[in-house]
Structure 1
């Protein structure tokens, strides 16, 4: 028995090392990395096989994380659109994107290699699935459902970045194979992902919170469910129905980034797919604790989480978001350059507590000045830190203000004002827009050295409701059901219902007005969740939202303690039509000549 345990530990350690290496290396299909695994040894033991599946989750949040382009400093896609500005390092890929300078040669974000490394590993599992010694066919089906979903998930990341991708099916290439797989059409790629989602959904449980045997709420929380598979299907169909791809393009003769025609019925397919998730009756907007919108992103086993991921480890090691977002005075035990500064464009997207946009004369917005942050949409206060916003601070009792002003620094004996020396605009490592990001950050980081944990909400129910609302509006215009979904979202947000019970929503919108309203609602509700970057592209409004100056708020404090306010230009962003999709990395074009580059590159 002792010898068996030693052998088991050896193989688990070897497998972990090999899989870690596989996740770190890039390259098309990465044929050599995983070929060294002794498949017979791994898949002849159910424990090793389970560990193999666990490792396939490793990169599921790759494109969601703000550190996807590197670290210290880092910034994700939120800093490559109008949500945020990054630190001023020109070497950041997010800066390269927002400068309009992304090319096949410098597109080295690793998504291509990461996705295909995982796809190849998933295909290895499917090749060996039937040899795994399991007592229950239901467990085998559960495992296969997870694997097929994960394969569809990684392909969906490729689809939204690049358009049509090389679909390798169930193939596992060896060291001796010549790998030169052409890209499939956009339509074929969508169809393949949808078929895999349907197949996975048929094999997966409704939930893993209160599962029946052989599922365990402890072991299986965070694993894929039927709802996640159907939600991915709904998201893919929503993107496919959107103007970017639901069209004919003269520069896309092979239909790699478009269908080649426009069809309004694609919106109906997206609407039906989102409705299928709603009809499961497994999800609801999180309201369990106060403030609900804020706690939603820190709470495990959350009824709003359709797909939530967190690293399966007893050491969370999950302070990265605070590291990239916290004001210097709040810090973490890690040293890094703060690199997610909300723009004034993002701040202005938030309406008032009565639900009205700040541009609406009926909103009560006072304009730029001392009261401009008062009585705003409650989601604003849990998304952005502004001058005077309260936040827990080590060494102090009770919440303390975050000061972002410049000008005359208050007396350092005044605890309520002295953090401006580190947090203020123009200070070293301080904000460059006058704001800090707060969403998803824990309020207090606790003693130095204490790690945090939170789920990554990759798909949540609020998105499904907004997906359903958008698809239905595009197919048939505003309806009472759309209003019901929107009022539910705004009710949870804490917006006042008003005397008419409409939460600030115009009850008589046209289709165009509803479209604009929904676009703004997505911007606010889904801020910093890897939505805005893709939304403005699929809607084809990026030339308006991205190709312009991005702004911040300069607040200057006078000697008498009064403030003056000035909107400032932080940096000009550039958008070119080619940037609706990422370019295929030049390294992959060189290795696989049959790959065709995206238009404009």
Structure 2
């Protein structure tokens, strides 16, 4: 019996050591902390430590928005040693679990930051910054605001992954008892209010508030640091999410209670949440526009750049142009921002060079190709001039099809689509405009862009053109020159569409259409009113709240396609159970002729278990260490 008890103690000790960082709020290394705040230089280094926990959202294996949903697909099985983490792709394939949760931001893991440690670091900074002797008051105020925002953002990221979470407003003392350390999850509304209060304290001037700058003045050393427009835009995103069906009156979680019986979700729908979201969006839009943030327009005079190409480049460079005027918040956390994504997205578009550095395996699914509007700015299922039933029939491109290769055959799905379709995607028969050339994309077996290796290819036959900076050059030796750009965490088009969504939900369809049409105009489309009246089989659709909601949702999925937002939007709208329970298709990429290549191939029959899969599970280890935590429903 004694031996069994000893074995149990050893097992529990191992589990505790393995999981003790899951919610690490008790400071250690006190002497080291004192040294970290001995002067301004050391304190700023510690502030950068707080930044270092930002999720690497410009990395396909660190951001669930890429491979964990249905936006991209990848070959299977993945050879051993090819990828450092298969976690997001395994989530898409239904392999999430509670024993060793994939993409574990609660405890930390491979390419996933331990966000509770990030919160702990922010608290340490806020508790010790007063010790810094040579820190000017205005700089101290700004640094405090940055740390507060980061603490709010880490709580927010955990909330959208796990639902109700504990609130860690301050670190516990070293003398804290085990009961004090065993914190509980808080109701969703309480967590949201806490996060918003923190952000408000960084954006409002006053004696008790830290203040963020309106914009970055020292662009050499401070780009990527938090500003007031960033804080307000993220606040708007959080409140729109909190007002959305996943968090606003979600009856699926009506019986989801804490260990003491406290309801963690409010099952009653609140219209006030949308009103609050509208006000947050309005304030964010006003501040962004006041400091010069605007929708990007490509205005370079490049030989051969027609008006159509310039519109395409306005769409592409809204993402890829470094620090362009549309960018509200760009991530530079990975050190070489966007480099990995570009190499994974680009095709070997030069027919005379094969580069092993260009993998092309970040492959958009056929579902994404069907998402975009027709050239008339309405869905392909609604356009009365577009033949939806024959979308998979082969056609031959003519000179009038300027985004396609004249004389080349491809399916009807690729004809007469809006410019965001051609700006975002490349495919067999497409053209790829780059600064050094316009390349013909030909993907059938044996053709320049087709599959040549066991791993370096697009499994769907589509390429994420949108994510590749137009200055990329593949050199004769196979090397690749990549122009990095900060990954857009938030850009103005995103904020405009959040604003339109919130306005529609509060009954202001007129103003909602104003902001919706700003985004459409940059994409070269007519207004919603004109497009639906002239081309849709449901011409009055935009005149109702439900109809305009559907339009706004699709506009958002199109405008932000391939940027990792779809994963989160489908969840907050509670549409994931519908969209992620359908098959994933691609083209038959191993074929050599038009007819056989252009047939759909089933890649995976994807499943989504609702309501379980809307939130990540907590690990069994975390629940053993802290019995006060409750598991998410279904896990």
Superposition TM-score tier, normalisation by shorter sequence: 0.7 to 0.9
User: Does 1:579 find its partner at 2:603?
Assistant: no
SS of 2:413 mapped into structure 1: coil
SS of 2:604 mapped into structure 1: strand
Quote the RMSD (CA, aligned, Å): 3.1
User: Does 1:302 find its partner at 2:296?
Assistant: no
- 1:460 matched residue in structure 2: 491
State the Cα distance separating 1:392 from its structure 2 match: 7.2
- 2:438 matched residue in structure 1: 399
User: Does 1:388 find its partner at 2:429?
Assistant: yes
State the Cα distance separating 1:362 from its structure 2 match: 3.0
SS of 1:170 mapped into structure 2: coil
Q: Within 1, Cα distance between the matches of 2:26 and 2:348?
A: 44
- 1:521 matched residue in structure 2: 555
Q: Within 2, Cα distance between the matches of 1:160 and 1:87?
A: 28
- 1:77 matched residue in structure 2: 65
Q: Within 1, Cα distance between the matches of 2:354 and 2:133?
A: 46
- 1:441 matched residue in structure 2: 468
* Aligned counterpart for 2:100 among listed residues 102, 106, 111: 106
User: Does 1:204 find its partner at 2:222?
Assistant: no
State the Cα distance separating 1:567 from its structure 2 match: 2.0
Going from structure 1 to structure 2, the CA distance change for 1:40 and 1:451 (only over 3 Å counts) comes to: farther
- 1:549 matched residue in structure 2: 583
* Aligned counterpart for 1:272 among listed residues 274, 279, 289: 279
Contact 2:229-2:328 at 8 Å conserved across structures: yes
Contact 2:451-2:457 at 8 Å conserved across structures: no
State the Cα distance separating 1:524 from its structure 2 match: 0.8
State the Cα distance separating 1:332 from its structure 2 match: 10
Q: Within 1, Cα distance between the matches of 2:586 and 2:354?
A: 25
Q: Within 2, Cα distance between the matches of 1:309 and 1:201?
A: 20
Contact 1:343-1:435 at 8 Å conserved across structures: yes
Going from structure 1 to structure 2, the CA distance change for 1:183 and 1:538 (only over 3 Å counts) comes to: same
State the Cα distance separating 1:499 from its structure 2 match: 11
Q: Within 2, Cα distance between the matches of 1:344 and 1:530?
A: 16
- 1:352 matched residue in structure 2: 374
Q: Within 2, Cα distance between the matches of 1:598 and 1:399?
A: 50
SS of 1:111 mapped into structure 2: coil
Write out per-residue CA displacement over residues 106-163 of structure 1, whole angstroms, 9 at most, x where no aligned residue: 3142311321111111111111111112452111111111110000011100000001
SS of 1:551 mapped into structure 2: strand
Paired residues, number: 548
Write out per-residue CA displacement over residues 192-245 of structure 1, whole angstroms, 9 at most, x where no aligned residue: 100001011123345324x4xxxx343332211111111121111111111112
Contact 1:329-1:393 at 8 Å conserved across structures: no
Going from structure 1 to structure 2, the CA distance change for 1:379 and 1:58 (only over 3 Å counts) comes to: farther
Matches for 1:521-540 after TM superposition, within 5 Å:
521-540=555-574
SS of 1:279 mapped into structure 2: helix
Going from structure 1 to structure 2, the CA distance change for 1:36 and 1:376 (only over 3 Å counts) comes to: farther
Write out per-residue CA displacement over residues 263-308 of structure 1, whole angstroms, 9 at most, x where no aligned residue: 1221111111111101213332112544111112223333222222
SS of 2:600 mapped into structure 1: strand
SS of 1:140 mapped into structure 2: helix
Q: Within 2, Cα distance between the matches of 1:437 and 1:53?
A: 35
Mean CA deviation greater in 328-337 or 131-140: 328-337
Matches for 1:236-385 after TM superposition, within 5 Å:
236-247=238-249, 248=251, 249-254=253-258, 258-280=265-287, 281=289, 282=291, 283-289=293-299, 290=310, 291-311=313-333, 316=336, 318-327=338-347, 338-364=360-386, 367-368=391-392, 369=394, 370=410, 371-385=412-426
SS of 1:346 mapped into structure 2: helix
Going from structure 1 to structure 2, the CA distance change for 1:243 and 1:133 (only over 3 Å counts) comes to: same
- 1:10 matched residue in structure 2: none
Write out per-residue CA displacement over residues 395-449 of structure 1, whole angstroms, 9 at most, x where no aligned residue: xx7333232224xx4xxxxxxx4333528xxx65322212122222223245526
Write out per-residue CA displacement over residues 77-112 of structure 1, whole angstroms, 9 at most, x where no aligned residue: 332222121332478222332233322113142311
Write out per-residue CA displacement over residues 492-522 of structure 1, whole angstroms, 9 at most, x where no aligned residue: 1223569948897957431111111111111
Q: Within 2, Cα distance between the matches of 1:317 and 1:529?
A: 14
SS of 2:127 mapped into structure 1: helix
Q: Within 1, Cα distance between the matches of 2:36 and 2:463?
A: 47
State the Cα distance separating 1:363 from its structure 2 match: 4.6
- 2:520 matched residue in structure 1: 490
State the Cα distance separating 1:59 from its structure 2 match: 3.2
Q: Within 2, Cα distance between the matches of 1:332 and 1:30?
A: 48
Q: Within 1, Cα distance between the matches of 2:215 and 2:340?
A: 27
Contact 2:26-2:172 at 8 Å conserved across structures: no
Going from structure 1 to structure 2, the CA distance change for 1:182 and 1:445 (only over 3 Å counts) comes to: farther
